Structure 1
Amino acid sequence: MSGWFRQLFAPRWQHPDAERRQQAASQLDPLQQEGRDALERLARDDDARVRQAALSRLDDIDLLVTLFDTHPSPELRARLAALLVGAAGNTPLDRRVDHVAQLGDQQLLQEIALHGDNQQLRLAAVAALHDDDEDALIVQACENGIAAVRHAAAARVTSETGLQQLSRRARRDKQVARLARERLNAMRADAAQQAEAEAERERILSALEQHGHHAWEPLYAGRYRHLQREWEALKDLPSAEQERRYQDACLLCRKTLTDHDAQQHVHAALDQRREDADQTREGLLEALEETLEGLRRGEHLAAQDIDSLRAQKRLLATRWQALSDHHAPDDTLRQRYDHALEEYDRIGHAWERFRARAAELDQALTACDRQALQTLLTACAWPDDLPPTSLLARAQRIAEQQQAPRNAPDPAQFQREVDELGVLLERGAFKSASRLHQRLRQRLEQLPDDTRRQHRPTLKRLGAQLAELRDWRGFVAGPKRDQLCQAIAELAEDTQLSEAALDRRHRQLVKEWASLGDAAADRELSTHFRACSDRIHQRLAPWRASLDAERQRNLESREALCEQLEALLDKPDPAADPDALRDIRDRAREQWRRYSPVPRDRAEAIGRRFGRVRHGLQALIDQRAQAIAAAKRELIDAAQALLDGDQPSQRRADQAKHLQQRWRALGRAPKGEEQTLWREFRDICDRIFASREAERHDRAQRAQRQLDAMQALIDRLDGWQPTSTADATTLDTAIAEAEALEPLPAGRRSDGMRRRWSGIVRARRERLARLAVSEEVSRWQSLQPLLNAHLAADAAALDGQPAADVAADDSLGGDLLSAHRLRNARRREPPPASDIEESLARLRVHLALLAGSRVGQQDDPLRLAIQVERLNEGLGREMSKAEELHEVLRELFATGPVASELWQREAQELDAIFTQLLRLPPP
C-alpha cells in the first residue's frame, strides 16, 4: 500500500510511464533549482524521448558537458552540438569557443567544425581535433564550407597517405588540393633526400669499416680524417646502430694508427739503442785507448797494470760482441777497435816474452851477469815506446854500465835498490821483495865498511818486515786453502747440482785458489785440490762435449746465415723493396741471437763477419730508401705542378689520387725523411682536394641560386595573366630569363620545374592567342558603322542607283583600307550574285572552323575544301589563329556588293560565331 501511495503522490516527472515523464519534462522550469535538478535527472533517463525532452529544456553548456562526461548519449551529443554551433540557445560566442577548446569528443568536434555558425568557432573545433585522426581532418579540409577552416585542417594533415587522399578528394578547393600536392611532393622530395642522405651515410660507414680492416699505409690517416669530415658534414642524425658501427670503425682505425705509431716508436727505440750502443762502444774504446796511452806514458810497467789491461780488454771484447750481436759498428769504430787490439796484442806479446825470461833476468841480476842480461834483454825485445818493468829497468841499467869489478858495487845503485825494496814491501809484493832482499844481502858484504855499517840496520829492518809479510801471508792463506779444499771436495761429491751450476761453482773455486798464489803453499793440499778438480772435469766432460757440439752447430748456423746474406749482397736486386730488406735484416738479427753461444775462439771473428754483412745490408736498404725518397720527391713536384696548374679541379683530384696510388706502391723512404715527405705530399693533396670541394660547394650554391631564381620566375609567371596582346613582350622577357638560367642542374626538381614551366608558358601563349583573336573580333565590331555604310551603298547599287563610294575614316589603314577600296571598286563592277553568295558561305564556314563551331551538313563540302586549303597553305608558314581570322575578316569586309536579304541571312550565324570567338579562357 505504501508503494501505491508513493506512486500516487510522486511528481509527474518521476512517473513510471515514459510518456508522462516526457510531458512533465516539457513543463519543468530550468530556472528554478528543483526544476533544474529534475531535468538533470531526466537527462539521464533510460527512455530516449524523455532524455530528448529534458535536454531541450536545458541551455547550460557547462551542465551538459558534465552530464556528457558521466552519462553520454546520442541525444545529449546532439543537444550539445546544437548549443555549441549556435543553432539553439543564446550562449555567447567566446564562451562557446572556450567550451569547444576543452571538448574531447572527436565526433562532436567534427560536427561543430562542419556546422558552426562562426569561423572562429569552426577553427577552434578543428584545432581541438587530434593530430592522429587524419580522416577527420581530411573530411574538414574537403567538405567544410569555410575556406580558412579547410586550409587550417589541410595544414594539419602530415602523413603521405593523408596528403594523397587530400589531393584526390579536395575537389571543392583547388588551393587545398594544390597545397596538398606541393606538400606531398615536398615530402617525397624530402624522403628521397633523406634516403640519399641515408645512402651517403651508409656509404661512408661502409668505407670507414673497410678502412678500419686495412693495413696501415702512408695515406691511412688522411683517408680516415677525410671520412670523419664527411661523416660530420652530414646534417641528419645517425641511428643508434649507425653510431655504434661508426664508433667501432673509428676504434679499429685508431687502433691501426696507434699500432703503427707504436711500431714507429719501436723503430725509434731501436735507433736510439743503436746510437746508445755506438756511444757505449766508443766509450769503451776510448777507455782502452786511454789505458794504452797511459801505459806508454808511465815510468814503470807492473803486473798489476797488465792485469788491469787484460780485464779491461775482456770487458771491452765481451761488451763489443754483445753489442755487435744486436747492432753492427761502423767502419771507423771497427778500425779503431782493430788498431787498439793490435796495440794490446803487441803489449801482451812483449809482456809474455818478459814473463818467460823474468826468472832468468832475476838470476842474472843476482849474479850480476851482464852478458846474460844483455842476451836476455835482446830476447825480450821490449818495445821502445813502452815503459820497462822494474826488473827490466834494473837489467837495462846494469847492462848499460861498464864492466866493473865484482868486489866494488856501486853505493848509489845499492841505495836505490834498498829504496825499491821498501816500496815493494809497502805494496805487499812478497816474491819480488824476497828476491831483491836476498840479492842485497849478498852484495852488502862487498860494500866498504862505512857504507856497510850504514845500510845494515836498514836492511835488517826490511828483512824483519819481509818475515812479518811471509808469516801474515801464511796465516791468511792457510785457512782459506783448507776452506777451498773442503768446498771443492764437497762440490765433487754433490750430485744434485746441474752441470751448468757445477761448472760455474768449479770455475769460481779454481779462480779463488789461483788468487792465493804460493802463500802457505802445501803440497798435500795442492794435490788434493787438483784431484777434486780433475774429478769434476771428468764429470763435466760429456756436458762440455755437448756444449761444444752445440756451439759448433751454432757457429755453422751463423756461418750459413752470413753466407746467405753475402750471396744476397753480391747480387742485389736494384728494384728491391726496402721494407722486404728490413724484414730480412730483422729476421737475420733474430736468427743470430738464437744461434748462441759459439766457440770463444771463433766468436769475435764470426761477429765481425756478421757485422760487415749487416752493415752492407743496411747500406743496401739505405740506398733503396734514398731511391724511393727521390721518386717521392718527384711525386711531390708533380703534385705541386697539379696544384699550380689551371686544370679543372675534378681532373686534378683524379690525378692526385693516381699520384697517391703510386706513392703507396713505392714503399718507405728513410726513417725521418719519410714522415717529412709524407707531410709535404699530404698537404699538397689536401689542398687539391680542398679546392675540389670548394668548387663543388660553389657549384652547388650556384645551382641552388639557379634553381631558386627559376622557382621565383615560375611563381611570378604563374601568378601573372596577360590581359592584351601587348603583354606578349612580358612573356618573351620571362622566356629569355628562363633560357638564360639554362641548363638547370640535373635532378627531379629540375625536371619538375621544366614541366611546370612548359605548362605555364603553353597556357600563357594560348591565352595570348585567344586575346589576339578577341582583339581581331573587337576590331571587326568597331568597323560595323563603315560596314553598314557599305551595305547601304550595296543595296542602292543593286536597286539600280548609281554606284557610290563610301568614305573611310582616317583611322582605317593597312590591308583593311585596301579591302575598303576593293569593295568600292566591286560595287562599280559587281561580280555575279552567285559568286558573292558562295564567297559569303565560304567565309562563314571558315569562321566557324576558326571558332570551333559545328557547321551544317550542307556545308560539309566547303568545310573539307577549306581544311585542305588550310593544310596546303600551312606547308610554307603556319599562320596563327588571329592572323588567319584577320585574313578572313579582311576578305569578308571586301566582299560585295551584298544584297540585304543575303546579309541578313548570314549575319545571324556570323554574330553567333563572333560571340564564341570573343569568349576568353578563365585566368
Structure 2
Amino acid sequence: MAAFFQKLFKSRKPAAPDRKTHIPEQPKADPETDKRAELREEQLQKLEANPDQNVAASLAVEGLTADIRIRAVNILQDESVLQRVHKQAKGRDKGVYQVARQKLQDIREEQARQQSIADTITMLTRHAREQAKSDDTKLYGARLEALLKQWAEVEPHATPDQLSAFLESIHHCRERLSGMEAAQAAEAQLQEQKRQREETLDVISRTLEDLRRQPVDSVASLDALQKTQENRWLEATRDTQVEKTHQKAYETSMMALRNYINAVRQLNQLQESLQSVSAVTYQDATPDDRARAEALVKEINWPEGFPVPESLQSVRKLAGKPKTPPRNSEDQKQQQATADNLKTILSQLEEALEANQLRQSRQLLKTAQQHFRALDQRHGKAFQSRIQLLTGQLRELTDWQGFATEPKQIALCEQMEYLAEQPMEPEAKSERIKELQKEWRDLGGSSNRALWTRFKQASDKAYEPCKAYFKAKSGLKQANLEKRKAICAELEHFLNAADWTAIEWKAVERILQTARQEWKEAWPIEFRENRQVQKQFDSLLRQLEAPIDQERQRNEALKQEIVEQAEALIEHEPLQEAMDKAKALQADWESVGITRHREDRKLWQAFRKACDAIFARRDARRSEQQQATKEADSEATALLQDATAVSYDQDEQSLTQAIASLNSVNTSLLSAPMKEKVQQEKQRLEQAVAEQQLKAGIRKWQSLVLARTEGDIQPDALPDKWTQLSAETSELDDQEIVIRAEILAGIASPDADKEKRMEIQVRRLTEGMGTSDKEEDALQSVEGLVAGWCVKADESGADPMLASRLNTALDNLTAD
C-alpha cells in the first residue's frame, strides 16, 4: 500500500543537479604569529567574561602570567575549588598559594562566625523558653532585658521560625512580668494603705492625749484635722480589707474626737448664756437658775476624761452634782483589757531589762506608757509606781550600754567619715550610708550628744554628692510622670475621635502595644503621684481593650466557621470541588482580621489539619492512579510484545486477533507514552488488514478481467455498485481503459500506445484529473475502470493482451 502511494503521487519533475559550493581558499597562517601573545589575550578575555569557578580554577593554576593567575584565584569563592587550587599551587606558585590559603581562612572564619551566631540564636531561644517557664522571679525584668539586648545583635540572622519561637517565648515572659509588676504594685499599695491607717490612728490617738492634758478653745484646727483624717482613712481603706480591731479603734477614737469638737463648738456658741448663769452664786440661785444651768450642761455634753473649762465648771456646780454618766460595761471591759495588756507588757519589759536588751526595752516602755495613758485614774493608779521604777532601770541600762557601745559608735563615725571622702556611684553610696545608719540604730543610739553630732555630720557630708543624683532622679520621675500623663491624653483623644465602625484594627492593636511599652519605659516614677495617673491609664486601657476584644472574638468566630467548613470538606465528593473550596477557604482565612495569638494558633492548627486531610485524599488517589497506570502499562507491554510479533504478511485472522487484544486494553489508565505506542501498533495492524483486503479485492478484480476474455460475465458475479461506476466509463473502449489504468498505476504503455496515452493524459489534465493526490479518488478511478471493463457486453470477449496489461497494472498497485 505504501509503495502504491509513493508510485501514485511521486513527483514527475526531475531532480535539480547538485551545485557545488565554491569555497574560497583560506590564506595560510602566518608562521611568525606570537602564539604566546594570543594565548595570553585569550586567557585575559576569559577572565573579563566573568568565568565560572572551574574555568577560573584552571586559569589560577595554568595561567600564562602571574597577574592572570592572581586575578583568577581572586575570582574563586567555592571552598572545594579553592582547596583544589590551594593544593595544586603548593610548591609551584607562592602568590596563588597564599591568596588561596587566605581566602580559605576567611571562608572558615566566616563559617565559624555563622555557626557561633546560629549557636547563640539557639541558646537565646532556649533561654527565652526557659525564662517563660521559670519560677525564679528574682531580677526577672533585668534578665529579660539582658536577653532582649543579646537577641537584638543576632536577630537579623535568625530564620522566620526561630524569630517566631523567640518572640512567642518573650511574649509569655512579658505577660508574666506584667503580672508580677501588677502584683508588686498592688502589694505596695496595700502596704501604703496599711501605713496610712496606722498613722491615722496614731494622729487621732495623740490628738486625744494632748486634749486630755491641755484643753483647746478653738475648733477650727480640730475640725480641719478631723476632716483630713477622715479622708485619709477613707482612702486608706478603699478596695481593701481592714482588720476589725483597727476599724473599731478608728471608730472609737474618731467618735471621741467628734464629741469633743461638738462640745467645744457648743461651749463657744453658748458663751453668753454661760456667763450670765455663772454670775449667779450657788447660794442665790433660784430653781430656774439651776434648771438653766442644768440645761446648759446637758446641751454642751462635755465628754468625760477631758479637762473641764473654767466657764463650764461654775455652771456645772450651780446645776448640782455633776451628772457624770456611769461607765457602761463596755468601757469597763476596755479599761480592764488595757490594764491586763499593760501588766503583760511590764512583765516583758522587766525581762528585757534583765537581758540588757536596750532597743527592745525602749519599745516596750513606749508601748507601756501608751497603755497607761489610756487608763482612767482608778485603773492606772496601781501601775504608776512600777512604771516609774522600770523607767529608772531603763535609764541606767542606757548609760551602761552607752559605755559599752561607744567604741563601736566611734568606729561607725570613722567609717562614715571615710565613706564621705570616697568617690562612689550614688546608688551604692546611698545604700552604704543606710547600712551604717542601721548599725547605729541597732546599737540603741547614743546618749553622747557630741558623738551623735559627729556621726550626723559625717552622714550629711557623705550623702551630699548623692543629693544631685537623687534630685536629677526626682526630675526624671517628674518627666516620666509628664510622659505618662501625655500618654493618657493621647489615648483619651484617640478614644474620643475613633470611628469604631470603620477602623483599622491592626493599627489599634499597635497603638495598644505602643502605649503599654512607652508606659513601661517611663520609669522610675513617684508612686504616690503615679496612683491617679495609673488609675486613668488602666481605665483608658480597659476602654481600648473592650472593642478590640469584641473584634477579636468576632474574628475568632469567623475563623471557627472556616474551620468547620474545612472539616466538612474532608469527606466531600467530588474531590476536585473539595480542593477548590479548601483553597478558597485559605484565602478567606487570610482576609480575617485580628485575633488572640493563642486562640488563633489553636484554630490554625485545626484548619491546617482539615486541609491536610483533604489534600491527603488527592495524594492517595494520585498514588492509586499511578499504581493502576503502572499495572495497565505492564499488561499493555505484554500485549504489545505479542502484537509486534505479528507481521504484515500474516493472514487477516491473525492480524484481526492482534487488533482485538489491543482493543481490550483500557487506554484511560495508560500512561501517555504507552498509550501512544498502543495506538501506533493498532494503526500498523489495521493498515496491514486494509492492505490484505485490498490485495484480495484486486485478485478478484483480476479474475473478472480474465473472465471477460472468455465471454460474457454473469451480472450477479459483479459487485452491485459496479453498474453505477461503469456508467462513467461506458464510452471508453478497452484500449483506453487499459491505458488509463497504466497511467494510474504508474507503469509504461507499449510504444504503439504512446501517442494514445499522451492524448489521454492531455485530456485528463483538461478535465482536472491529472493532479489528483487523494488515495480514495485514485482507488475509485481504478475500480471504475475495472467496472467499465467487466460490465461491457461482448460475445466474442475481450482482447487477452489488453486483459493481461490491465492485470499487470493492477499487480503494480499492490506491489511492495
| Pairwise TM-score range, normalised by the shorter structure | 0.5 to 0.7
Counterpart among 400, 411, 430 of residue 365 in structure 2:
430
Residue 467 of structure 1 pairs with residue 385 of structure 2: no
Amino acid at match of 2:416: L
Distance 1:314 1:778 in 2: 127
Counterpart among 771, 786, 792 of residue 888 in structure 1:
786
Residue 765 of structure 1 pairs with residue 687 of structure 2: no
Residue 257 of structure 1 pairs with residue 161 of structure 2: yes
Residue 633 of structure 1 pairs with residue 527 of structure 2: no
Secondary structure in structure 2 of the residue aligned to 1:765: helix
Aligned-pair CA distance for 1:442? 9.5
- Name the counterpart of 1:907: 800
Distance 2:652 2:178 in 1: 95
- Name the counterpart of 1:352: 203
Residue 504 of structure 1 pairs with residue 431 of structure 2: yes
Counterpart among 519, 522, 529 of residue 602 in structure 1:
529
1:799-852: CA deviation from partner (whole Å, max 9, x where unpaired): xxxxxxxxx889957769999xxxxxxxxxxxxxxx999823233324434554
Residue 679 of structure 1 pairs with residue 602 of structure 2: no
Q: CA 1:608–1:706 in 2, change beyond 3 Å: closer, same or farther?
A: same
Counterpart among 780, 788, 794 of residue 710 in structure 2:
788
Distance 1:539 1:708 in 2: 96
Q: CA 1:677–1:418 in 2, change beyond 3 Å: closer, same or farther?
A: closer
Distance 1:435 1:275 in 2: 42
Question: Given that residues 714 and 757 in structure 1 are in contact (C-alpha distance below 8 angstroms), is that contact kept between their aligned partners in structure 2?
Answer: no
| Greater shift in the superposed pair: 526-535 or 379-388 | 379-388
Counterpart among 776, 786, 798 of residue 701 in structure 2:
776
Residue 844 of structure 1 pairs with residue 733 of structure 2: no
Aligned-pair CA distance for 1:678? 0.4
Name which one, 1 or 2, has greater alpha-carbon Rg.
1
Q: CA 1:404–1:510 in 2, change beyond 3 Å: closer, same or farther?
A: farther
Counterpart among 788, 792, 796 of residue 898 in structure 1:
796
Distance 1:755 1:412 in 2: 122
Secondary structure in structure 1 of the residue aligned to 2:710: helix
Q: CA 1:358–1:489 in 2, change beyond 3 Å: closer, same or farther?
A: farther
Distance 1:817 1:591 in 2: 106
Aligned-pair CA distance for 1:594? 3.5
1:136-189: CA deviation from partner (whole Å, max 9, x where unpaired): xxxxxxxxxxxxxxxxxxxxxxxxxxxxxxxxxxxxxxxxxxxxxxxxxxxxxx
Secondary structure in structure 1 of the residue aligned to 2:597: coil
- Name the counterpart of 1:267: 171
Q: CA 1:543–1:811 in 2, change beyond 3 Å: closer, same or farther?
A: closer
1:358-382: CA deviation from partner (whole Å, max 9, x where unpaired): 3554x48xxxx9999xx99999899
Aligned-pair CA distance for 1:542? 3.2
Question: Given that residues 492 and 536 in structure 1 are in contact (C-alpha distance below 8 angstroms), is that contact kept between their aligned partners in structure 2?
Answer: yes
Aligned-pair CA distance for 1:496? 0.9
Q: 5 Å matches for 1:326-725?
A: 341=193, 345=196, 348-361=199-212, 363=213, 386-388=247-249, 399=305, 403=324, 420-428=341-349, 429-431=364-366, 433=368, 464-476=389-401, 479-480=404-405, 483-484=408-409, 487-488=412-413, 490-492=415-417, 494-498=420-424, 499-510=426-437, 521-536=447-462, 540-572=466-498, 574=500, 583-637=510-564, 639=566, 646=573, 649=576, 653=579, 656-666=582-592, 669-694=595-620, 696-697=622-623, 718=644, 719=646, 721=648
Question: Given that residues 633 and 677 in structure 1 are in contact (C-alpha distance below 8 angstroms), is that contact kept between their aligned partners in structure 2?
Answer: yes
Question: Given that residues 555 and 594 in structure 2 are in contact (C-alpha distance below 8 angstroms), is that contact kept between their aligned partners in structure 1?
Answer: yes
Counterpart among 858, 868, 876 of residue 755 in structure 2:
858
Distance 1:836 1:585 in 2: 105
Aligned-pair CA distance for 1:440? 10
Amino acid at match of 1:598: I
- Name the counterpart of 1:322: none
Q: Which has the higher contact order (CA 8 A, sep 6+)?
A: 2
Aligned-pair CA distance for 1:686? 1.9
1:632-680: CA deviation from partner (whole Å, max 9, x where unpaired): 234435545666665661x654554454344345455213211221012
Structure 1's unaligned 5+ residue stretches are 1-251, 285-312, 318-340, 448-454, 791-807, 820-834
Q: 5 Å matches for 1:134-283?
A: 255-274=159-178
TM-score (norm 2): 0.52
Secondary structure in structure 1 of the residue aligned to 2:794: coil
Question: Given that residues 705 and 786 in structure 2 are in contact (C-alpha distance below 8 angstroms), is that contact kept between their aligned partners in structure 1?
Answer: no
Superposition CA RMSD, Å: 6.0
Distance 2:516 2:390 in 1: 59
Structure 2's unaligned 5+ residue stretches are 1-155, 234-244, 258-302, 307-321, 350-363
Distance 2:334 2:642 in 1: 133
Q: CA 1:509–1:576 in 2, change beyond 3 Å: closer, same or farther?
A: farther
Amino acid at match of 1:896: D
Question: Given that residues 552 and 599 in structure 1 are in contact (C-alpha distance below 8 angstroms), is that contact kept between their aligned partners in structure 2?
Answer: yes
Aligned-pair CA distance for 1:896? 1.7
Distance 1:866 1:377 in 2: 142
Aligned-pair CA distance for 1:773? 0.8
Distance 1:505 1:876 in 2: 117
Aligned-pair CA distance for 1:857? 0.5
Question: Given that residues 557 and 595 in structure 1 are in contact (C-alpha distance below 8 angstroms), is that contact kept between their aligned partners in structure 2?
Answer: yes
Q: CA 1:491–1:694 in 2, change beyond 3 Å: closer, same or farther?
A: same
The number of aligned residues is: 555
Amino acid at match of 1:688: I
Amino acid at match of 1:917: L
- Name the counterpart of 2:40: none
Question: Given that residues 765 and 771 in structure 2 are in contact (C-alpha distance below 8 angstroms), is that contact kept between their aligned partners in structure 1?
Answer: no
Q: CA 1:857–1:418 in 2, change beyond 3 Å: closer, same or farther?
A: closer
Amino acid at match of 2:531: E
Aligned-pair CA distance for 1:353? 1.7
Aligned-pair CA distance for 1:555? 2.2
Amino acid at match of 1:358: E
Aligned-pair CA distance for 1:772? 1.6
Q: CA 1:490–1:725 in 2, change beyond 3 Å: closer, same or farther?
A: closer
Distance 1:759 1:481 in 2: 127
Distance 1:626 1:515 in 2: 60
Amino acid at match of 1:673: E
Amino acid at match of 2:526: P
Amino acid at match of 1:685: C
Question: Given that residues 625 and 669 in structure 1 are in contact (C-alpha distance below 8 angstroms), is that contact kept between their aligned partners in structure 2?
Answer: yes
Question: Given that residues 843 and 892 in structure 1 are in contact (C-alpha distance below 8 angstroms), is that contact kept between their aligned partners in structure 2?
Answer: no
Secondary structure in structure 2 of the residue aligned to 1:788: coil
Question: Given that residues 722 and 787 in structure 2 are in contact (C-alpha distance below 8 angstroms), is that contact kept between their aligned partners in structure 1?
Answer: no
Amino acid at match of 2:344: V
Question: Given that residues 484 and 522 in structure 2 are in contact (C-alpha distance below 8 angstroms), is that contact kept between their aligned partners in structure 1?
Answer: yes
Q: CA 1:919–1:869 in 2, change beyond 3 Å: closer, same or farther?
A: same
Q: CA 1:757–1:435 in 2, change beyond 3 Å: closer, same or farther?
A: closer
Distance 1:701 1:253 in 2: 45
Secondary structure in structure 2 of the residue aligned to 1:672: helix
Secondary structure in structure 1 of the residue aligned to 2:476: helix
